[in-house]
Structure 1
Amino acid sequence: MNGLPKTMRRGPWRYLGDGDILVAAGITLLALVGSLGLLYVAHFVRVWRVATLSPVRSRAPQTLLVFGRKLVGGQLEADFISRLDRARVQARDGLAPHVLLLGGRSDGGPISEAEAGRRWLQDGGWPAEVPLTLEQESIDSLENLRHAREILRCDAGLPSVALVTSRYHLARCLYLARRLAFEATPVAAEPAFPGGARYIRRMALEAGYLMWIDMGFRWARLTGNQRVVERLS
């Protein structure tokens, strides 16, 4: 795994040496072919519905989990900025008693996504009464949530959380959060569904990720593979 180029140490490529993940990929491919693509379509519709129907505001105060995005030359790109801006609006409106910024050193640079996000928020004015906590060890959405769970867990259990991320990314984050026992609701970063070819491509890719995760989990549960079940529990 350490021999992979830096550009392949993020996302699905980092699992090329993981037999369980490769089995899940094979099962997903078989399911795709066996269903004549209908299972993929169902996952795409799920991604589409969450992307288009998610609100931009929590109904009540909740801990915010703000998902990072890979830095480009140490700088924040547009999707990440829109997520941070949404978190700031929530905090200023009194809907975020605690904000957790998620994301490690995805680009190999000196600072994490979470730290870059914190600096951007504080430079633009952040309400002093709202604490910012950084989760800086993860490089994918599942790790984001597993580490967030450890940070937030207390004797009373886990708090209700709002997942703040780009619309195309919400369905996967919501699926993973609920698997990890979060009471989670989605909050979309963008004020409205952007549309356009780039966004449709992103959603198509997310549908593939979501199908891969879901089919892998179902197969692991069916075959009693506790290693995989425990990753998503």
Structure 2
Amino acid sequence: MKPATTPAKRFVRQRGMGWDGLTTLLLSNLLLLATLGLSGLWWLRRVWRIARDTPYAGVEGDWVVVLGARLQDDQVAPGHARRLRRAAALYQADPRQRILLVGGRTGGRVSEAERGREWLLELGIPASRLAIEDQSLNTLDNLRNARQLLADLRERPFVLVSSRYHLARGQALARGLGLQPVLCAAEERLRRDPWTCWRLALEAYYLHWYAVGKTWSRWTGNRHSLARIT
């Protein structure tokens, strides 16, 4: 199994962050040091509770939005496959639902969304119930572009499907954009292996950074940053 990308390396890949992103990353790290990590632990507890408690069935919404994941050799990775299977199960439980797959090309020749669409077609989901957004490269852009693509997401709750470790960040970013996500976990239960623990900690780190950046942007009246995250 490949090691997770470090926060610093992943930051370098983010588009449009610039000096604002570097500044808030520095402030986030300084706050972690000043609080001896307690501010990060608060977020870790939140990430863990959402990962543990989110249901994997029985959720309702006109649209099911499936967050993408990096492909492996241009093929759907296991974690992405679990998200797609969950979306298929939701559709089979309620065929009135429509599915939006998000995610652009993150290193391969095909987008995450397009590969996910092909995957669901093979499971028997009708093409008429599927839509894709294939330009975004990270979770924030996934949700922002989905909001632009579908007017319904601005007005009504929708089901947001992702891996358990990723749900808290998806929820926070969606709410920051004025959306109303109803979370649905890809997996039936939260695993307690070292890999999952590392992912939970990493998500808490990202959420800490996001919260610090949002607060700093409001305090300083940074319209550029606020326009990106709200």
- The alignment's TM-score, normalised by the length of structure 1, stands at 0.90
Structure 2 residue 108 is the aligned partner of structure 1 residue 145: no
1:172-213, Cα deviation, whole Å (9 max, x unpaired): 000000011111111000011111000000111111111011
User: How do 1:1-233 residues align onto structure 2 when only pairs under 5 Å count?
Assistant: 11-15=10-14, 18-94=18-94, 97-107=97-107, 109-126=108-125, 128=126, 131-153=129-151, 157-233=154-230
Is there any run of 5+ residues in structure 2 with no aligned partner, and where?
A: 1-6
- State the Cα deviation string for residues 82-103 of structure 1 (Å, max 9, x = none): 0000000000000762110010
Cα RMSD for the two superposed structures: 2.1
More helix by share: 2
What displacement does 1:62 show? 3.3
TM-score between the two structures when normalised by the length of structure 2: 0.91
Contact 1:91–1:130 under 8 Å retained in 2 = no
Cα separation, 2, equivalents of 1:194 and 1:96: 31
Distance 1:40 1:58 in 2: 32
The 8 Å contact of residues 48 and 200 in structure 2, kept in 1 or not, is answered as: yes
Hey, what's the Cα distance between the residues in 1 that align with 2:184 and 2:96?
Answer: 12
Amino-acid identity (%): 35
- 1:4 alignment counterpart: none
Larger deviation, residues 161-170 vs 15-24: 15-24
The 3-state SS of whatever aligns with 1:185 is strand
CA distance in 2, matches of 1:34, 1:157: 38
The 4+ residue runs of structure 1 with deviation greater than 3 A are none
* Residue identity opposite 1:71 in structure 2: L
Alpha-carbon distance in 2 for matches of 1:123, 1:160 = 28
Q: Structure 1: which 5+ residue stretches go unaligned?
A: 1-7
